[in-house]
Amino acid sequence: MSAAHWVEPVDVRVVAGTAEALFRGTFGGAADGVWAAPGRVNLIGEHVDYAGGLVLPFALPYVTVVAVRVRGDGILHAVSTHTDESWQGPLADVAPGHPAGWAAYVAGVVWALRRSGHLPAETGFDVAVHSTVPVGSGLSSSAALECAFALAVADLAGLPTDHAGRRPLIAASILAENEIAGASTGGMDQSVAMLARPGHAVLLDCRDGATRQVPLDFDSAGARLVVIDTNAPHRLVDGQYGNRRAAVEKACADLGVATLRDVPDPDAAVAALGSPAAARARHVLTEIRRVTEVAGLLDRGRIADIGDALNRSHASLRDDYEVSSVELDSAVDAALAAGAWGARMTGGGFGGSAIALVPADRVDAVAENVVRRAESATLPTPQFLSAEPSGSAHRL
Ligand code: GLA
């Protein structure tokens, strides 16, 4: 009997039922429709999306659901099962920092779509939210909320929602997060929430937006990808993330390139930079190479062989980019000690989640060792999620 706590995915129709019940209880009557979008993990390609790099995330079977009804008075009224803090106000008043908190992700999407001329000014919405993506775990609960709602707004406004139609919705979701919520994130999370396919990771080229679906079948390799939520909250708005992004932009300016991806000679570029810029750039440049390496292995069905690249990614994030944490390092070390083929922090870092690629028969041993190691160091007790590559945002 495992002492580790597993958070099992809930059927999306059950999640939807809870959102619909909240909607009826708050607003009376039925919603016009219900939409879902997934959380994500990034297999590899960390802190490179804002550097024009390559990333390889996939969608999780944990979703955020929105039940939505159009209103004609330009007002947004948003409620959630996760908090008593609802938000109601004119969409015309939405601006950077207003609303604050979770409602920024909803209001910001409308603000962005209005700004790009996709939505008339009198359109308003009643919205009820329910989610099984753990909040503050670095699994992109905010992108899931933005993307579920962006798809809802597009559907209700008669905008296209096919692959091409999703591009402006991804852009609006990123703008909402950057401008209204004030988190200067790079766009990987919104892209995967909108473009993921079951059984695949999305290889996303953040320089030109090109995507390729890479097959990712853990079962066929006798493997499981375990998500370890350290339960040490991860915060994107507290300055460290923006600080790293600014360091990368400064390095680009010093090197005279538009993105670090455009550097012709990575070794010479690193040598030309001072400390800590050189280490930051070295992380970005080596991480982009590791993404190509992992995508190549996956194309050849060699899942069990990607562990070493995951480990090098973690070391680079910990030592060169300095975005790991005691909790993440503990989880990674304990997973490897108990037989994982590879492990790394995933997402923005400074807390949040790690992933471990584990032979199927070692899953319980790995989870137990991660818990034991955390508890003996008096760190928060981690919880575990299953990482079956899942589908993108959709209407139910
Ligand atoms: C967060 C951001 C992403 C990305 C990752 C780090 O998840 O939202 O844009 O930068 O951190 O890879």
Same domain, 200 and 315: no
Please report whether residue 394 resides in a domain. Answer: no
Same domain, 263 and 224: yes
How close is the Cα of 46 to the center of ligand 1, in Å?
7
Active-site residue, selected from the candidate residues 189, 208, 265, 305 = 189
- CATH number for 359: 3.30.70.890
How close is the Cα of 186 to the center of ligand 1, in Å?
6
Q: Which domain holds residue 356?
A: 219-386
DSSP letter at 217 equals -
Same domain, 208 and 335: no
Q: Of 216, 239, 263, at which residue does a domain stop?
A: 216
- CATH number for 75: 3.30.230.10
Q: Are 328 and 212 in contact (CB under 8 A)?
A: no
Q: Which are the contacts of 215, defined by CB distance < 8 A and separation ≥ 6?
A: 199, 200, 298, 299, 301
Please report whether residue 391 resides in a domain. Answer: no
Q: Are 196 and 389 in contact (CB under 8 A)?
A: yes
State both tokens at 91. Answer: 């969409």
- Res 229: pLDDT: 98
Please report whether residue 395 resides in a domain. Answer: no
Same domain, 232 and 124: no
Same domain, 189 and 158: yes
How close is the Cα of 307 to the center of ligand 1, in Å?
21
Return the bridge partners of 226, or none: 356, 386
Return the bridge partners of 394, or none: 36
According to DSSP, the β-strands at 124-131 and 75-80 are parallel
Q: Of 200, 216, 232, at which residue does a domain stop?
A: 216
Q: What total of structural domains would you count in the chain?
A: 2
Q: Is the CB of 348 under 6 A from ligand 1?
A: yes
pLDDT, one tens digit for every residue, the chain (396 residues) = 457 999 999 999 999 999 999 999 999 999 999 999 999 999 999 999 999 999 999 999 999 999 999 999 999 999 999 999 999 999 999 999 999 999 999 999 999 999 988 898 899 999 999 999 999 899 999 999 999 999 999 999 999 999 999 999 999 999 999 999 999 999 999 999 999 999 999 999 999 999 999 999 999 999 999 999 999 976 654 689 999 999 999 999 999 999 999 999 999 999 999 999 999 999 999 999 999 999 999 999 999 999 999 999 999 999 999 999 999 999 999 999 999 999 999 999 999 999 999 999 999 999 999 999 999 999 999 999 989 999 999 999
Say how many C-beta atoms besides its own lie within 10 A of residue 215's C-beta. Answer: 14
State both tokens at 32. Answer: 């016009």
Q: Is 189 a catalytic residue?
A: yes
- Res 236: pLDDT: 57
Residue to mutate (ligand 1; options 49, 135, 237; most atoms within 8 A of CB): 49
The percent helix, strand, coil of the chain (3-state, each to 5) is: 45, 25, 35
Q: Of 151, 185, 216, at which residue does a domain stop?
A: 216
- Res 1: pLDDT: 40
Same domain, 322 and 247: yes
Same domain, 225 and 210: no
How close is the Cα of 177 to the center of ligand 1, in Å?
12
Q: Are 31 and 69 in contact (CB under 8 A)?
A: yes
Task: Give the Cα separation of 314 and 171 in Å (integer).
Answer: 29
Q: Which residue's CA is the nearest one to ligand 1's atom 2?
A: 185
Ligand 1 atom closest to 49 (CA) = 10
Please report whether residue 200 resides in a domain. Answer: yes
Task: Give the Cα separation of 18 and 12 in Å (integer).
Answer: 10
Please report whether residue 95 resides in a domain. Answer: yes
Same domain, 201 and 258: no
Closest Cα partner for 2 from 387, 388, 386, 383? 383
Please report whether residue 347 resides in a domain. Answer: yes
Q: Is the CB of 228 under 6 A from ligand 1?
A: no
Ligand 1 atom closest to 142 (CA) = 8
Q: Is the CB of 347 under 6 A from ligand 1?
A: yes
- Res 3: pLDDT: 75
Closest Cα partner for 328 from 313, 339, 341? 313
